[in-house]
Amino acid sequence: GEETAKNLEKLQDKLPAFDTFQAKKIIKKEIGEIQYNNILELSEPIAAASIAQVHIAKIKDENENKVVAIKILRPGVEKAIFSDLKFFKWCANFLSSIDKEFAFLRLSKAVDIFEELTKNEMDLRLEAAAANELNENFKNDERFIVPKVYWELTTKRMLVTSWIDGIKINDLDSLRSEKYNIETITKNSAEAFFLQVFRDGFFHADMHQGNIFINSNGQIVPVDY
């Protein structure tokens, strides 16, 4: 139902954030003092999901000031998630042992797959690599823009990309008030996804509305790879 769906949307980017002072400590630890000094400004968290949160920052890059997005894993998130996974495995094994119907569902295998996916999601270098590949696949398509990855500032627990101003794809009132063509956006979004699946065999697997923005040129900008 709509009410439940609205509540679940909070998990996308509206969870309580950890404080910016702690974020600064994590950033300094991840990239070292010299690189940290190239960060000129750091905002309060602008989005906080279950695994990570995002800040806007201004950095010095090749003698220019650039605006970037910094995504940081939550402190202690790995320990919390793997504690949960351990419990899931116990539940799967227990249920499979007491009922043949549960054994038929292969719950233990499902938990193993979920564990592998979660491990990948908590290594932000893999996310950066996915962004690069998606960018390469669409480099000649002006309808679809992937933010630049700053590899020198990216680590296992921290991802830095160029900042993109845009309107969330489900904010129809704002899109209409700014005179965007909803039909064109819908068509381009569908085509972009089908190209990923059928042309490239490499697709953004979390294309919910919190991860898709429309920039001032009407281009589709995905985030969170």
pLDDT of 47-74, one tens digit each? Answer: 898 889 999 999 998 889 999 999 999 9
Beta bridge partners of 189: none
Q: Which residues of the chain have pLDDT under 50?
A: none
Q: What is the pLDDT of residue 32?
A: 95
141 included as an active-site residue:
no
Q: What angle do CA 162, 69, 207 make, to 5 degrees?
A: 85
**Spatial distance between the Cα atoms of 5 and 90, rounded to a whole number of angstroms:** 29
Catalytic residue among 84, 99, 200, 206: 206
Q: What is the pLDDT of residue 163?
A: 94
Q: What is the pLDDT of residue 57?
A: 97
Q: What angle do CA 68, 122, 5 make, to 5 degrees?
A: 85
217 neighbors 184 (Cβ within 8 angstroms): no
Q: What is the pLDDT of residue 205?
A: 86
Q: What is the pLDDT of residue 8?
A: 84
Q: What is the pLDDT of residue 134?
A: 96
